Amino acid sequence: MAQLAESGSNPDVDLLYEINGLAEHTPHWFDRIVEFVGEWGLLLAMVLLVVWCWATVRRRGGTDAAASVAALVWTPLAAGVALLVNVPIRGFVERPRPFVDHQGLDVLVGGKTDFSFVSDHATITMAMGVGLFLANRRFGLAGIALALLEGFCRVFMGVHYPTDVIGGFALGTAVVLLLSPLAMALLTPVMKAVEAAPRVGRLIRARGAAPAGEERLIPGARAEHTEERDLAA
């Protein structure tokens, strides 16, 4: 991978300098915001988005409630699996961080001593975004948008090459989609059993939600399509 770290006509390095160079023209307070958002903020936002989607699924109820919750359970699990898969990839590629081989980068966060390819943050956020899409299209699109923003932030911060981010997106997406049939086959019956249990059934379906076979209208949604149909069905 040494040739990927060389500058010159390499579009990966050129794009790194273009995006990171934006930090030279932004105020210090904006850089600090990007540092927080790129390091922790978007990860927290993804977690909150999963919780919000779960609350929406509970209120709606209907036939697909258990399958949708199963997809939501798979979302963080898939992110964890993708992160584990990335460990041997990083060890095999051994690509240094961009600021190790390139001068003049405005590095917004310090302490990065591990390898660069592929980006953990990009892997986690895209895995969660795609996992959300399996549960609910609307929330999934929002999650994928957050993942794209995360990837931009990592390059802007000077801690990853663009191809590190693209590799993370590909890894997160592949893990979610390739293992989703097996994960859903295992998790959906468990969620249906939880749904039928008297004490914990509200984790799947809130009181007053539509029973299986029906779909309750959510206030404020369009009459013809009050909620996006779940892909997990």
Name which residue leads in pLDDT, 229 or 89: 89
Burial degree of 141 (CB within 10 A; 0-12, 13-18, 19+): middle
The reported pTM is: 0.83
| pLDDT at position 109 over 60 | yes
For residues 10 and 80, what is the distance between their CA atoms, to the nearest angstrom? 32
Least confident of 118-122, 145-149, 175-179, 219-223: 219-223
Nearest Cα to Cα of residue 167 among 126, 220, 216, 110: 126
Domain 29-203 grouped into CATH 1.10.3210: no
Which residues are within 8 A (CB) of 37 and not within 5 positions of it... i.e. 6 or more apart?
149, 153
pLDDT digits (tens, 9 = 90+) for 64-104: 888 999 999 999 999 999 999 999 999 999 999 998 888 88
Least confident of 12-21, 58-67, 189-198, 215-224: 215-224
pLDDT digits (tens, 9 = 90+) for 150-203: 999 999 999 999 999 999 999 999 999 999 999 999 999 999 888 888 878 777
**Which three-class secondary structure state does DSSP give residue 8?**
coil
Which residues are within 8 A (CB) of 198 and not within 5 positions of it... i.e. 6 or more apart?
none
pLDDT digits (tens, 9 = 90+) for 129-155: 999 999 999 999 999 999 999 999 999
Domain boundaries defined on the chain: 29-203
Distances, alpha carbon 231 to alpha carbons 65, 108, 116, 185, 211, in Å: 11, 39, 33, 14, 19
